[in-house]
Each structure stands twice: as C-alpha cells, then as structure tokens.
Chain A
Amino acid sequence: MSIIQQHTQATLSDAWRTINIDALTEDSSVNFDVSTLHPPLPEISEADARAINGQVRQLLRGGDAEGALRGCLEMPVYAGSEAAKETHLHTVIEVLQSIKASEMTPMLQRIYGQPGGSECLDVLMKYLYKGMGATSASSDGSGRTTPARAMTPQATGFSQVSQRPMAANESTGSAMSVLLSWHEKVVEVAGLGCIGRVMTDFRRV
C-alpha cells in the first residue's frame, strides 16, 4: 500500500488498521526467524519414538507403570516429524489409560517430588492438551481420524466400525474422559502454573 495522499473512501475507513506494519519493518519479528532465539532441540526420528514406545510397553508389562510414565515424559518429542510426534502421543496415552484412577494422584505426587518432576508434569500437561485437540478434531470430522482410534488400542468391537458416528463418539468420549481426569489430577499437584507453562513454552509436542 502506498503512502496515503488524500482522503478517499478507503482512507476514511479503518482498513489501514489491518495493514501488517511488521512486514514493512526490516528487522521485525516477522522478517526474522524467531526460532534462532532458542537453543536448538534434539531431533527425534520416528524410529526413535517407536523404540521408546517399545521400552515403555515393556515397563508396562512388567507392572512398572510409574517408570513407564516417567520414561515417556522424560523423552518428549519436541523436534521431529509429525509421525514421530504422533507415535509418542500414542505412547503417552497408552500409559495413561493403563493406570488406575486411584493410583493417579499418589503417582503424580511422587513424580513431582523428584528432581525434574515439575518439568515432567509440564510435559504430561502438554500431551494431555495435544490428546484433547486430537480427539476433538477427529470427532467433528475435520481432522485426521487416526489419533482417536489409536486412543483405544484394545481391540473393541467399536474400533472396527468407527466410521459410524455413534461409535466414533463413544471411543473419543472415553479417551477424553481419561484425559480430563488426568488433567484434573495434574492441576491438583502442579498447580495452575503448569497450565501457564504449557501455553508459554516454545517447545511444542
């Protein structure tokens, strides 16, 4: 847009307010790669994510749910392909679904009490929100459908007919209720600061 010389219908309107003046400033954040402000994060490939998944499953089979949870929260996939991130989300949700409701709070308190525990719960919160985003996106039919189905790894009758809207709702509904109850417990232990950190953090899962 050129410099406005005289009052016209266009200049009297407030359309000029929508001009992105940052784009016109040479060294503004728009014309600058803000990711260079942060230290680079280690790249995790899909194969690595699958390897973690394998180890975590082994821990789960061995009955060490807490170790499995800590294990997958200590290795979040911050930098990596969509597939790697998706795989890790499934790993985390698998662990969450395998833990009984009565065990949640004591387990979270134990993790929070250990060094680096606060960081772990922040990561857990990130995956809870990501999981919720994935389930809601699939239930309204606009997003990819894979995450919702993967939330119920146990082969139920429904997962085969998940094209039916009823069934899809039911599976996402159960996944959502698991995530919501975890969300409540995490906030109890790590406080509202935990939600704030998820929103501010530049490291996205």
Chain B
Amino acid sequence: MAAPEVHHLFHHPIADHSFSADRQTLAIARDTQVELYGRVGNAFKLKDELKGHDKLVTSVDIAPNTGRIVTCSQDRNALVWEPSPTGYKPTLVLLRISRAATFVRWSPSEAKFAVGSGDRVIAICYFEEENDWWVSKHLKKPIRSTITSVAWHPNSVLLAAGSTDAHARVFSAFIKGTDQRPEPSPWGERLPFNTVCGEFLNNSAGWVHSVAFSPSGDALAFAAHDSSITVVYPSAPEQPPKAVISINTQLLPFMSLFWNGETEIIAAGYDCEAFRFQGGEQGWQLAGTLEKAKAGGRPGLGDEDREESALNMFKQMDLKGKVSKDDTMLKTVHQNTVTMLRPFEESGGRVTKFSSSGVDGRVVIWHT
C-alpha cells in the first residue's frame, strides 16, 4: 500500500481543516485566521488568508458544491466566505450566542449549517432571501453543556451533536421553506424543529469528542473521553435502540472518527495515529492501527531502524557518550494529537483516502 502523503505546514496547532471538492484547495484554521493552501505539484502552498475573526478560529468547512467556506470562532461569530473573482467576501452570521462557537458543518444540502457552541445551544443557520441575511434558529433543549462536535444525517434534517455533558444526541433541524419533508427513518417520522430523536451516553459517561452518522444514516457512532467508541443502532421512533455497542479500548481517547462504509469506523486522537474498528449490529472490535499495516509506511522514520549500523552506533557513543538513538520523535507520522479526520476520496461507498490534521501542524492524506 502506498505511503501516506505528509504535509508539514507549520509549527502550530491546526484546529480544523477542510478540502475543496476538487481537493486542490485546503483550508486550515490557524489561530485567528483561516489559511488557504493551493496544491502545487506534490506540496501545498499558502495562497490566501481569510482574516475576519479576532479570536481563535475553532472550525472551518468548505461546501463542496457552492465553494462557500464557513468559519466559526471563539469570538462568538460565524462567517460565510463567498467566493468571487476578487477573492472571498465574508458575511457575518447572527448566531445570538454568548459563548464561544466551537464547531461548524454544512448540511449535505448546503442550504444551511450548524454551529455548536459553549452556550449550550446549537445554532442552525440558513439564508433568508427576503432579508438577504443569514439567520439562525437555536436547538436548546435538553443540552446541558458545551457542544464539541456536530454531524449531519444524509437527509440534511437530522443532526447529531456530541456534548461535554457526556451525551450524544440526535435532533431534528428541520427548517420550513428550506428543507424538503424527510423520508421516515428509524430516527423518526414527523420531525418538527428541535425534536429530540435520541439521547445516548455510555457507561462511564465521558465527554463526547466526535459524532458521525453511518453513510446510510441508520447508525450513529460517537467517541468519548473514556477512550471508547459507542455505536448506536436505532430501531423505530420513540423506541429504545436495537443495539448500543460500546468498545472500551486500552488506548488514549479519540478526538475524531468517521465511517468507512457501514462496517468500519476509523478513529484517531491522543495516540497520534488512526485506528480501525470493524463490526456491525452484533458487535464491534478494534482491528488495529492504520500505520503498522504498511511495511515501511512511516516516511523518514521506518527506515531508520534498519540503517542503524555498527559504525553509526560507535559514532554516537563517541560524539554523545551514549548509545541511545534520537528519541525525541514519536514513532507515528503525526507528532502530536490528531484532532480531525475527514474523508478525502471515496469510491463505491467506501472511503479510499482520508485526511487528518493535528496539533503538530501536519495534514496527512492516508490510504485506508
């Protein structure tokens, strides 16, 4: 299998990253601005900076079809950046929140987006034609704490949200006039705004870091701070779920996860590498890391072990008075926590490549 493509952009944490639909542009949330990188050959070069927030930008998302970029920040604002021949034009969105905005994602329909916040609300924002203005509606109940992540159902109506009150919830974010009435699903049939379609927590109830719907939308996975991932299979509206499967791992907690088909989940976090989970309604298990599976798949690291010659060893002893190798590098590609995973390339319902970004300022494109 091919080695991962590593882009070390800078020495600064990356809060979030997003690729454009053609995968030629990469948006990076860095400090108080968003940097746009363009692909030049095998590398990504800085080509534009979006400055508009005055506090840390927490999340960025590029809509694949319209090319609009939405960003949100600890300054409690969200901006929609409209592409134009002269560059990106920002539009302020009225979120009406009094704490930091933490996470933003476009719905698959791209007509609206959801902003999670520290104000115990999720703002669902949509464009109001008559006022020429982005407005927001709040999902409020029964959220008790900061929203750490949101994920859209493929029907653009249901929204999953993970929170620091240890719950992963599924809401209806139906906006009259913007959305089509959704097909009935195991999550619910009639779905007025702010219907709570499910509320889940695992045994030890750690903070939820990441949530994701399966490609069909009929299962929900979430990663929590107790180093576990939990998969929920709903049965029917208002009924307890068919199965709730929790996998406690020996690893450090996962920060981000996504589904690769209906039977595989890939998650990464504080262990600085991605792990594969496999299973279904009957049960899930950890299938191993994505790094060790590839022979020599660690650029600049994997080969060093073999090249450690006797000559080298004595040279080291002579120079430094010790035999030990340079152990300031982790054995993983990412050198610090992975904070975000996103599918990069899909074919036939499977993710063939995905991208990760982390605290070490790297963006890595992996083969699954």
* A-contact 0/1 string along B215-235, CB 8 Å cutoff: 000000000111110000000
Q: A residues 157-190 with Cβ under 8 Å of B?
A: 190
A144: Cβ under 8 A from any B Cβ = no
A200 touches B226 (CB 8 A): yes
Q: B residues 171-202 with Cβ under 8 Å of A?
A: 201
CB contact under 8 A between A29 and B145, given known A122-B204, A197-B227, A202-B205: yes
B250: Cβ under 8 A from any A Cβ = yes
Q: A residues 21-48 with Cβ under 8 Å of B?
A: 27-29, 32, 34, 37-38
Contact of A201 among B204, B251, B253 (CB under 8 A): B204
A201 touches B206 (CB 8 A): yes
How many chain A residues touch B (CB < 8 A): the figure is 21
A194: Cβ under 8 A from any B Cβ = yes
User: Please, which residues of chain B bring their CB within 8 A of the CB of A190?
Assistant: 250
B145: nearest chain-A partner, CB-CB: A29
A153: Cβ under 8 A from any B Cβ = no
A197 touches B167 (CB 8 A): no
User: Please, which residues of chain A bring their CB within 8 A of the CB of B203?
Assistant: 119
A192 touches B226 (CB 8 A): no
User: Please, which residues of chain B bring their CB within 8 A of the CB of A194?
Assistant: 250
A25: nearest chain-B partner, CB-CB: B98
User: Please, which residues of chain A bring their CB within 8 A of the CB of B224?
Assistant: 200
A187 to chain B, nearest CB (A): 9
B251 touches A32 (CB 8 A): no
Measured CA separation A203–B201 after assembly (Å): 13
Question: By DSSP majority rule, is chain A's interface helix, strand, loop, or mixed?
Answer: helix
Q: B residues 107-125 with Cβ under 8 Å of A?
A: 120
Give the A-B contact count at a CB cut-off of 8 A: 68
Measured CA separation A28–B203 after assembly (Å): 24
B165: Cβ under 8 A from any A Cβ = yes
B332: Cβ under 8 A from any A Cβ = no
Measured CA separation A133–B77 after assembly (Å): 44
User: Please, which residues of chain B bring their CB within 8 A of the CB of A193?
Assistant: 226-228, 248-253
B166: Cβ under 8 A from any A Cβ = yes
User: Please, which residues of chain B bring their CB within 8 A of the CB of A196?
Assistant: 206, 225-227, 252-253
Contact of A29 among B144, B207, B228 (CB under 8 A): B144
Measured CA separation A110–B267 after assembly (Å): 28
B252 touches A202 (CB 8 A): no
A200 touches B205 (CB 8 A): yes
Q: Which of A34, A118, A119, A196 has the most CB of B within 10 A?
A: A196
B243 to chain A, nearest CB (A): 16
B226 touches A37 (CB 8 A): no
Contact of B248 among A27, A29, A118 (CB under 8 A): A118
A191: Cβ under 8 A from any B Cβ = yes
A27 touches B251 (CB 8 A): no
A118: nearest chain-B partner, CB-CB: B248
User: Please, which residues of chain B bring their CB within 8 A of the CB of A37?
Assistant: 144, 165-167, 201, 205
User: Please, which residues of chain B bring their CB within 8 A of the CB of A192?
Assistant: 227, 250-252
B144 touches A32 (CB 8 A): yes
User: Please, which residues of chain B bring their CB within 8 A of the CB of A29?
Assistant: 144-145, 165
A27 touches B120 (CB 8 A): yes
B250: nearest chain-A partner, CB-CB: A191
A205 to chain B, nearest CB (A): 12
A201 touches B248 (CB 8 A): no
User: Please, which residues of chain B bring their CB within 8 A of the CB of A118?
Assistant: 248
Measured CA separation A122–B248 after assembly (Å): 10
Measured CA separation A201–B224 after assembly (Å): 11
B167: nearest chain-A partner, CB-CB: A37
Measured CA separation A38–B202 after assembly (Å): 10
User: Please, which residues of chain B bring their CB within 8 A of the CB of A27?
Assistant: 120
A38 touches B207 (CB 8 A): no
Measured CA separation A28–B120 after assembly (Å): 9
User: Please, which residues of chain A bring their CB within 8 A of the CB of B227?
Assistant: 191-193, 196-197
A191 touches B249 (CB 8 A): yes
Q: Which of B120, B249, B251 has the most CB of A within 10 A?
A: B249
A128 to chain B, nearest CB (A): 16
* CB<8 Å pairs between A and B, sample of 18: A29-B144, A29-B165, A34-B165, A38-B201, A119-B203, A119-B248, A190-B250, A191-B251, A192-B252, A193-B251, A193-B252, A196-B206, A196-B226, A196-B227, A197-B248, A200-B206, A202-B166, A202-B205
A: which residues have CB within 8 A of B? Answer: 27-29, 32, 34, 37-38, 118-119, 122, 190-194, 196-197, 200-203
Q: Which 9 A-B residue pairings sit nearest by Cβ, starting from the closest?
A: A191-B250, A193-B227, A200-B206, A201-B204, A197-B226, A118-B248, A200-B226, A200-B225, A193-B250
In the complex, given contacts A29-B165, A196-B253, what are 4 additional A-B residue pairs having Cβ atoms less than 8 angstroms apart? A191-B227, A191-B251, A192-B227, A196-B206
